Amino acid sequence: MLNIPEILAPAGDAKACLAALAAGADAVYLGLKHFSARAQAGNFSISELSRVVELAHKENRRIYVALNSLLKPGDPDAAGRLIARLKRDVQPDALIMQDLGAVELARQVGFEGEMHLSTLANVSHPAALRVAKDMGVSRVILPRELNVDEVRQCGEACPEGMSLEMFVHGALCYCVSGRCYWSSYMGGKSGLRGRCVQPCRRVYQQNKRKGRFFSCMDLSLDVLAKTLLSVPNLRSWKIEGRKKGPHYVFYTTTAYRLLRDHPEDPSARKQAEQLLEQALGRPSTHSLFLPQKPHAPTQPGEQTSSGLLVGKVVMEPAPKAKKGERTYPKYFFKPRMELLQHDFLRIGYEDEPWHFTDRVVKRVPKAGTYMLRAPARKDPKSGTPVFLIDRREPQMVRLLDEWEAKLRKCKGRTPSAVEFTPQYPGPDKRLPVVSVLLRPGLPHGKEGKAGKFTGNVNGLWLGPRTLQTVGRTLFSRISWWLPPVVWPDEEAGWQKMVQQALRDGARHFVLGSPWQVAFFEDAKADLVAGPFCNPSNPAAIAALKQLGFRGAIVSPELSSEDVLALPKQSCLPLGIVLSGYWPMGVSRLPLEGVKPNEPFQSPKGEVFWIRKYGQNSWIYPGWPLSIEDKRDQLVAAGYTMFVTMMEQPPQAVPEARRTSPFNWDIPLL
C-alpha cells in the first residue's frame, strides 16, 4: 500500500514562500526573526506571517513555523510570549522545535497546532519515538544519516497518532544534526542557534594532502524517493533550503511533486531530473540512503559550491594614474549563457572570505561582457569562477506577481503584546559536590578503580568492553555514560547492555539524548541528562524532570553569564563539563581523504584529530576545554557535578600548548 506524503518546501522570505505555493507545495516551513535555526535567512515578522498563513489556508495548504533554536537561560519568557502570539494572531499548523524547553513552553501556552521535533533534536532510533509521543509531539523529523531500511524500521515502530518527516533534498552537514559544536567552539556562533559559519566547508591539510574533507555535496534522492512511498507513517518529504531563492524552491518542489505523483512514469522522472539539475544547488549525492551502496558525500579534491558555473573573471589592470588621482582595475567576464535581469551571481567559492555576490541589472547575451561591481577590498583574481545562484525567469516572475496579488488581498491580523510567564516545578534537593572522571572505556582504554559516589567518581562509557572488564562490586559506584547518538541498527544492542548493567548493580546513568530514557522503563536508576542533551534553559530542564531525569549536565556552549544564572532557575541539580577534550562534532558519514588518529590542520594552522567509536567519527580540536579556574564560582552558583573528560589524543597529535574556555568569555550568538 502506497503512502502519499506531503511535499514540504522551504521559505526564507515571502517570495520563496510564494514560489513554493505556486509550485504546488502541500506545506511550507519558515522561520521568524527570532529563535530560528536559519538566522541568516530573511525570515518573517508576525504580521507578515499572519497574511501568509491566511493565504495558505485559503489555498488548502499548511504552514509550519520553525522555532528550532537552542534556548539560553534568559530566552524562555520571550519564546513563550512569541508562541502565545503565534497561537492568537497567526495560527500556524505546526511548530518545529529542537529544544525541549520550546516543547514545554508550547504545552504551557496551550498551542493548538501540531508539535514537530526538528532533526536537531536527534530522535534517531525507533524506541525514541514512544518517548516523543508521550511528550505530546505529533511528528518527528528523522536524521539525514538513516538509510531506507532504517527509515522503514522507524515507520513501522511509529506510535499511533504520530507521523514522520524526512529530508529528500538539500544541503548535508558532515556532523549529526544536534551533535555539532564546530562553529561554536571556534568562536561562539552556534549551529544550534542558526549561526553556523560552516567551518566544515574549509580546506584542511593532513600531511601533504589538502582537501575539503568535510564539505558535503547536496542530498538528492531524486528517483530513489519512490522507495519511500511504501514506508508506513512517513507523511512528509522535506526539501532543505531556507537560505535559497524562489528559483530553487520552485524547481525542487515541482520535481518532487512529479516524482511522488508519477513514480512509474519514465517521462515524469526524466522531467524531474532535469528540473533538479537546473535548481542551482551543489553537486548531488544519495549519501547513505541505500544500505547496499552507501556513498561518501564528500569529494575532498573538488569544490562543493552551490550554483551553475557561468564564466571566469578577467581582470583588466588599472590604467596609469595621473598625478593626484587614483585608478582601479576592472573586472568582467563573458557569460557562457544568457543572463537575465535580476539573476543573482556569486563570484568565488563560499569558503573564500573575500567572495561576493552581484545582482544582474539588465539582460546580458551569451558571450557578451558583464562588468562586475566588486566591493572594496574584495578583488577577485583572473580565472575566479562566477556562479549563477538564483534567477528570475519571465514565467516565474509572472507567477510570483499573480501570487503576490493574492497575498495583498489577505489582511492578516495586527499583532499586539501578550503576557506569559513560564511555570516550573520546585527545585530538587541539592546534591553533594561530585567530580566525575569520564574515561574512554569503549572500545579501548584502561578502566581505573572506582571510588565511592562522593568526591571523585569514575565515569565510564557503557559498552561491551566495560561490561566485561569491570568487577560487579564496582558497578553501583560508577557513572555509566551512554553515547550521544544511537542508530536504529544499534538499538537492540544498547537495550541489552543497559539491562545487563542494571542486573549487575549499575544505578547511575548519564544519557546522551533525552530519548534514551526508553531503555529504562520501570528501572530503578538515577538518570542524568548528559551535556549532549544540550540542557541550556529552565524550561528544558523542567521537561527533562518530567521525563524522569534526576539531574542535568548543562550544554558547554553557554557563556559564563548563562552558566552562572541557570542553577537559580533550575528544578534539577546541575553539572558541567569542567575540562577535557570536548568533540567539535560526531559524524556517521564515511571518512574520505583524511585518516583517524593523525593530526590535520585548518587554513589557520589549528590542529585537529579524529577518533572512531563504533559507527561514528568523533572530531576533536587539538587543545582541550578547561574552565578549571572557574570551579569556585560554579560551586557558589550551585553546580554539584563536575566532569573531566579523560580522552587522550593519539600519540601523533602535538602536545596542546593552550586550553579553551569554550564560550565562557564571549556571548553565545
Examine the domain organization and report whether 460 and 496 are in the same domain.
yes
Mean pLDDT across 450-477: 81
pLDDT tens, 609-624?
999 999 999 999 999 9
- Going by C-alpha positions, the residue among 457, 455, 433 that lies closest to residue 634 is 433
CATH of the domain at 90: 3.20.20.70
Q: What spatial distance separates the first Cα and last Cα of the chain, rounded to whole Å?
A: 47
Range of the domain at 35: 6-172+216-292+397-408
| CA distance readout (Å), 654 to 208, 247, 445, 646 | 17, 48, 20, 17
Residue 667 forms part of a structural domain:
no
- Going by C-alpha positions, the residue among 571, 547, 566 that lies closest to residue 556 is 566
Mean pLDDT across 336-354: 89
Query: Does residue 11 carry a pLDDT above 60?
Result: yes
Residue 221 forms part of a structural domain:
yes
DSSP 160: T
pLDDT tens, 77-123?
999 999 999 999 999 999 999 999 999 999 999 999 999 999 999 99
Examine the domain organization and report whether 73 and 128 are in the same domain.
yes
Count of helices and strands (H, E) across the chain: 15, 32
Residue 482 forms part of a structural domain:
yes
Q: If pLDDT is split at 50, 70 and 90, which confidence band does 451 have?
A: very low
Query: Does residue 441 carry a pLDDT above 60?
Result: no
- Going by C-alpha positions, the residue among 380, 388, 347 that lies closest to residue 364 is 388
| CA distance readout (Å), 332 to 247, 350, 358, 380 | 25, 19, 12, 10
Mean pLDDT across 633-651: 96
Residue 490 forms part of a structural domain:
yes
Here the cell at position 275 is 528540473
Share of the chain above pLDDT 90, in %: 83
pLDDT tens, 258-268?
999 999 999 99
Which of 26-35, 248-257, 392-401, 413-422 has the largest mean confidence?
248-257
Residue 385 forms part of a structural domain:
no
Q: Are 147 and 452 in contact (CB under 8 A)?
A: no
Examine the domain organization and report whether 488 and 401 are in the same domain.
no
Q: Are 81 and 418 in contact (CB under 8 A)?
A: yes
Examine the domain organization and report whether 521 and 443 are in the same domain.
yes
- Please give the mean pLDDT across all residues of the chain: 93
Element (H, E) at 525: none
Examine the domain organization and report whether 401 and 445 are in the same domain.
no
Examine the domain organization and report whether 401 and 536 are in the same domain.
no
What's the pLDDT score for residue 448? 35
Residue 134 forms part of a structural domain:
yes
Examine the domain organization and report whether 403 and 475 are in the same domain.
no
pLDDT tens, 560-615?
999 999 999 999 999 999 999 999 999 999 999 999 999 999 999 999 999 999 99
What's the pLDDT score for residue 37? 58
Examine the domain organization and report whether 87 and 165 are in the same domain.
yes
Residue 594 forms part of a structural domain:
no
Query: Does residue 453 carry a pLDDT above 70?
Result: no
pLDDT tens, 73-87?
999 999 999 999 999
What's the pLDDT score for residue 403? 97
Examine the domain organization and report whether 403 and 530 are in the same domain.
no
Query: Does residue 33 carry a pLDDT above 90?
Result: no
Mean pLDDT across 384-388: 95
What's the pLDDT score for residue 224? 96
Examine the domain organization and report whether 141 and 250 are in the same domain.
yes
Examine the domain organization and report whether 230 and 284 are in the same domain.
yes
Here the cell at position 261 is 505523483
Residue 220 forms part of a structural domain:
yes
pTM: 0.93
Mean pLDDT across 215-235: 96
Query: Does residue 457 carry a pLDDT above 90?
Result: no
640: left (phi over 0), alpha (psi -120 to 50) or beta: alpha
The count of structural domains within the chain is 2
Examine the domain organization and report whether 403 and 496 are in the same domain.
no
Mean pLDDT across 435-458: 57
